Amino acid sequence: MTTPSASIAHLRKSYERAELNEEASHAKPLDQFAHWLQEAIQAELPEPNAMTVATVGNDLRPSTRVVLIKGYDERGIVWYTNYDSRKGRELAGNPYAALQFHWVELERVVRIEGRMEKVSAEESDTYFHSRPLDSRIGAWASPQSQVIAGRSVLVANAAKYGAQFLLQPPRPEHWGGYRLLPEQWEFWQGRKSRLHDRLRYRQDQGVWVRERLAP
């Protein structure tokens, strides 16, 4: 009988959908990211806005979780969370983090590294009040990353804050946005025979330098 681990070891996929070269890619990484993200959206991939956030705590142990990008521009990549969560506590002690998008169907990965900062209170307020009511109540109801006795705690908290705030819950002070200020980008396109395309963009005296990495 074949063991599960042996079956996993023999899984193979040939990447042959597209290529990524220096001539056809954008000179600025943000433009390349916007192009790829738009293609992922147009392809109707499941949650093309999902990204993994990696942080490192004071104990030097890395941790990852999946969040949703909520905006991007020349300043950086924006997402929102509970500042008292594990990721929030880790970012308070070490503001450097990494993001990763994995668009499986397009055989593409984007990695972004840099320093995190909180967005302004005004930006957090604007986004918070654009969310559905149940999501705004949920920001109050969930003591994110804390141990709770059971799901009943969340249900009771949601009922409590729903009754307290009705249709106008304010943004909790412990909830808001982060912006990653990119210092390095990497774009990965799967290719045949494992000879993948990897283009890295890094800052050099305020200018983005584009270079190819071996796969």
C-alpha pair distances (Å), 192 with each of 16, 45, 189: 6, 22, 10
Q: Which residues contact 4 (CB under 8 A, 6 or more apart)?
A: none
Mapped onto helix, strand or coil, the DSSP state of residue 167 is: coil
Instruction: Show the DSSP H helices in 10-110 as ranges.
Output: 29-42, 86-93
Collect the ranges in the chain with pLDDT lower than 70.
Answer: 1-3, 5
194 is catalytic: yes
Instruction: State the Cα–Cα distance between residues 113 and 54, nearest whole angstrom.
Output: 9
Q: Which of 46, 61, 151 is nearest to 103 (CA)?
A: 46
**Residues forming beta bridges with residue 187, ordered by sequence position:** 110, 199
- Catalytic annotation, pick one of 65, 131, 194, 212: 194
What backbone phi and psi angles, to 5 degrees, belong to 19? -135, 165
pLDDT in tens, 50-105: 999 999 999 999 999 999 999 999 999 999 999 999 999 999 999 999 999 999 99
Query: What pLDDT does 43 receive?
Result: 97
